[in-house]
Chains A and B, each alone.
Chain A
Amino acid sequence: MTWKRTALVASLASAALTFGACGFGGSDGDTSVAPAPKDPNAAASGTLRIFAYGDTVPDEMLDPFREANPDVDLKIATFDSNKSAAAKLAGGFESDVVEVCTDEMEPLLVRGLLRPLDPEGVKDFDKLAFHDSPDIRNEGGQVLFAPASAGPHGLIVNTDEVTESVDSYQALFDPRYADNVALEATPLTAIAVTALAQGLDDPMNLTPEQVDETEQYLLDNRDQFRAFAESDSSMVNLFKSGEVVLADGGRGTTQAMIDDGVPVEWVAPKEGALSWVCGLAITSKAQNIPAAYKLINYYASPEAQAISAKLGFVAMNPDALPLVPAKYQQTADPKNLAEAIPETQPDDSEAYDRAWQEVLAE
């Protein structure tokens, strides 16, 4: 993912959202709870329109669903961020199912683009990781999406070069590794891991003073960082070339390095790993609710979660683990998410963005 390009598109998409809110293409959809099908085993039919991240809807994930539901005609469109998705939906684009993530769903929520789910309509809902998290619910406690994928975000450590045991985000600021450390160039994770390194407890809801404090800490330690990786590819290249021996990052990125022979391991810091959480929601203009529930049930099933695990994600349904090949067991284990701090959109996300821009400008 090219985060710099995504950040630019997302920023301009935010402007587009503002324009779109000026009475044009605004939501006049239904924001009541989407009724679950009376008979969950009844066959679904018709056209089902999905709007999701590209890596959520590969053919290997959807082919079993197509085989099981031959009367459902899948139409797929992809996006690179929930902000650009919200801009497109607010502008009038319609889909039945949209993928949302806890750290990016605010633009969809405030524009009434989502329709709450009935958890009774999702068979394995209570088994899914984060099913009881308030972050997947609206202010009224209604479930907005069924968690379908997640990825813990911790530390990536080159075990050949970093011989001491590392278990804290504070290692990123250890002078012994100066100029050999990288951070992911996303405002939320960069500010959050720095806040955790400083001992702040709630990295997703920092006060303005805490954001300023974190920004200053990053500026004071700017020389610690060799690079701010703008994509998974960049991070992998930094480790492979030996420029970086320590960074924050996810298990999937770590696995890509291990597969290529780079001696690294992923560590869950004692302050708590962060975790992005994404899932499938029904849009307020959905036209095929029964097929939407069929798809959401499929993604929550052990079979689909096992496929998701092979794609590098955590299996949200623990019943999927026996179906996951040994190579992916460690990455897929939902225990990775135990004690994880879900990445959510801060109330003052602009403060995080501003602080990060100041650091980048240095």
Chain B
Amino acid sequence: MPGARPVAPEGPRRDVPLSYRVRLRMPAVASVCLTAFVLLVLFGPVLMLALFSFNDSSIISLPWEGFTTHWYEEASSDNQAHDAVLNSLLVASIVTVGSLLLGTLAAWGLTRLRFPGRGFVAGLHGSVLVVPWLIIGVAGLIFFSELGVTLSLQTIGLMHLVVTFPLVVAIISAGLVRFSRSLEEAAIDLGASQLQLMRYVVLPHIAPSLAAAGIFAFAWSFNNFEISFFLGGFEQTFPVWVFSILRQSENLPLVNAVSTVIALAQVVAVVGAWRLMKRLTRNRGGDSALTELVTGGVR
């Protein structure tokens, strides 16, 4: 039949024609090649930069000049780099917790309650996502200036909250919409209080959505430049520091070294989280439960 998957004829392997064996394996080979190509395009540039962070040259270009850890030594003694990374970590952590808390509450209200103007409120939340961060940064600068508020990490954090909160609302709302309300009703019928309902029924089910929203909120806050530049006072975040020192090309390897360390920390965190989830789902269905847990968060 045309288009049907070829089936190997029965018989010993040596009797199976090579063409059949090749045709059987082609889909698998093609998928591996496609995956490898996508991974190369996605991660190749990052790996190249990490590789050149060990190159004994201030120019990010071949030929390879020799292995060195000089740039990492320079990064470890650069106080401005330390301060910038710590500032970004602090702001991103607080913004993540704040946006998860507020975003979950807002998502609950939007999906579970009926009130006048619900659609308008939902639209208002989403509208922030389409406003350029540069405009938000300048608007925030003017806002705080008019109020006489000194720019600082706090003002950066507040405006980061403004842009990450709608994203969290969107992701958590999607998780709550998928969540069957009959389970909530059953829990209430069985005598659960609102707190017990949230603690034992709702939150475990939307945990993947919370995890996904948390990762996005942290990444958006940590990597944000436009808002951090305009709302920052005399404490720099990591993206602002990077942008300011890259005016001189010889600083590029230093930025590479710091960025490689940050990327490695993120990989370790993700691998650690994956292993933790695997352990937690071991007794609850193994790999299928883990897959459902992960894909449920990004669906």
Q: Collect the chain B residues with CB atoms within 8 Å of residue A1's CB.
A: 246-248
Is A136's CB within 8 Å of the partner chain B? no
Is B230's CB within 8 Å of the partner chain A? yes
- Cα A93 to Cα B152 with chains together (Å): 11
Contact A19-B59, Cβ < 8 Å, known A24-B146, A78-B244: no
Interface of chain B residues 207 through 262 with chain A (CB within 8 A): 226, 229-230, 232-234, 236, 240-241, 243-250, 252
* Chain B: CB-nearest residue to A77: B234
- For the complex formed, measure the closest distance between the CB of B238 and the CB atoms of chain A, giving whole angstroms: 13
Count residues of chain A with CB under 8 A from any CB of chain B.
Answer: 43
Q: Are B236 and A91 in contact (CB under 8 A)?
A: no
What 0/1 pattern do residues 1 to 16 of A give for CB contact below 8 A with B? 1100100010011001
Q: Collect the chain A residues with CB atoms within 8 Å of residue B61's CB.
A: 236-237, 240-241
- For the complex formed, measure the closest distance between the CB of B26 and the CB atoms of chain A, giving whole angstroms: 39
Q: Which of A24, A54, A312 contacts B142 (CB 8 A)?
A: A24
Is B79's CB within 8 Å of the partner chain A? yes
- For the complex formed, measure the closest distance between the CB of A2 and the CB atoms of chain B, giving whole angstroms: 6
A9, A16, A92, A257: which has the most chain B beta carbons within 10 Å?
A: A92
- Cα A211 to Cα B58 with chains together (Å): 37
What 0/1 pattern do residues 113 to 145 of A give for CB contact below 8 A with B? 000000000000000000000000000000000
What 0/1 pattern do residues 54 to 71 of B give for CB contact below 8 A with A? 000111111001000000
* Chain A: CB-nearest residue to B65: A260
Q: Which of A25, A80, A92, A232 contacts B243 (CB 8 A)?
A: A80
Is B151's CB within 8 Å of the partner chain A? yes
Q: Are A53 and B142 in contact (CB under 8 A)?
A: no
Is B100's CB within 8 Å of the partner chain A? no
Q: Are B59 and A232 in contact (CB under 8 A)?
A: no
- Cα A270 to Cα B235 with chains together (Å): 45
Is A233's CB within 8 Å of the partner chain B? yes
Question: In the complex, how many residue pairs between chain A and chain B have their CB atoms under 8 Å apart?
Answer: 108
Q: Are A236 and B59 in contact (CB under 8 A)?
A: yes
Is A186's CB within 8 Å of the partner chain B? no
Is B288's CB within 8 Å of the partner chain A? no
* Chain A: CB-nearest residue to B252: A233
Q: Are A20 and B142 in contact (CB under 8 A)?
A: yes
- Cα A132 to Cα B232 with chains together (Å): 36
Contact A93-B58, Cβ < 8 Å, known A9-B134, A77-B232, A80-B247: no
Q: Are B141 and A77 in contact (CB under 8 A)?
A: no
- Cα A24 to Cα B79 with chains together (Å): 36
Is A354's CB within 8 Å of the partner chain B? no
* B residues neighboring A (CB under 8 Å): 57-62, 65, 79-80, 132, 134-135, 138, 141-142, 144-146, 151, 226, 229-230, 232-234, 236, 240-241, 243-250, 252
